[in-house]
Structure formats: structure tokens, C-alpha cells
Structure 1
Amino acid sequence: MSDFGGLPLAAVFTPNPDHPLTWTGLIGFLILIFGVCIVILGVVLSVVLVRGIADRKWGGYVIGPVIILFGLTVSYGGAQLL
């Protein structure tokens, strides 16, 4: 006899046994999202620095792509944890 007066209960979510839900997967997903945010920041920074003042030094051209590369590296690391 059911505790709910004989009502049939809805199906219960069962995770895929090939991809169990773990803390590592959650942390990997959060790192992936953080890396994507860094990439977006790098793209915005690149556009702002290139469209900035006319007499800029070489660092204005380099810092944006370096931040994009760092964000891609973080994103790759997070994707590997998934």
C-alpha cells in the first residue's frame, strides 16, 4: 500500500550510469563557465584597447589576446573535468 492513498507516483529521475553526477562534474562545469566569462572579457578588452587612443604601445595589442588565450585554457580545463 502506498503512503499516498494508492496514487501512482511519477517516474523518478535516474542519472545515466555512464555519466554519474559527481562533484567533479559540477566543479568542471563551473570552471568552464568561468573560462567563457574570461574569454568574453578578453574580447571586449581587445576591442576597447584597439579602438582606444592612437599612440598606444605594443602592450595594448597583446593584453587582449593573452587574456583570451588564458580564458580558453581555463575553459579547456573545465571541459576536461566534465
Structure 2
Amino acid sequence: MIGDVRLAATWTPNPDHPATWAGFFWAFLGVGGCVIVVIGAALTVALWNVSDQKKVGNYVLGPVILAIGLAIAGWAFGLW
């Protein structure tokens, strides 16, 4: 009887779903990328509306941060 209980209590991992933290960290990276996208979009709108002296940096900084966030989120969620 003891042998049957031990066999019933053993845990066999599913080879299709390994028990690792990789999925959590990819999701965390994806959410971080989405946060960077929101920051980039807000920075783009803020710099376009606030600045009286229009400089090249005002037009470039926000979209560059937005593109970096899109790349990170797309990579983390497996889009490319």
C-alpha cells in the first residue's frame, strides 16, 4: 500500500509546459514594453504641444521611445 501511495503522489511535469519562470519574465517584459509605449506616446504629445521653440529633438525623442517600446513589446509577445 505504501508503494502505491508514493507512486500516486509523484509529480511528472508536462513536457509541453515546462515548469520555469520564462513565461512570467516574457510577460513582464511585454508589459514593460507596453508601459514604454504609453510613455513614448505621452512624451510625443507633450513635446509637440508644450514647446514654443520647435527643435528636431522635440519631434524625434517621443517617437523613438515609442518605437523602442513597440519593439520590446512585439518581441516579448512573439509578434516577430
| TM-score, normalization by structure 1 | 0.69
Q: Which residue of 1 aligns with 2:49?
A: 51
2:73 is aligned, of 72, 75, 80, to 75
Aligned residues: 65
Spell out the pairing of 1:11-22 with structure 2 (5 A cutoff): 18-19=16-17, 22=20
* Higher RCO (C-alpha under 8 Å, 6+ residues apart): 1
Q: Percent identity over the alignment?
A: 38
SS of 2:50's equivalent?
A: coil
Distance 1:50 1:19 in 2: 47
More helix by share: 2
Could you tell me the TM-score, scaled by structure 2's length? 0.71
Q: Does 70-79 or 35-44 show the bigger shift?
A: 70-79
For 2:17 and 2:66, how far apart are their aligned partners in 1?
30
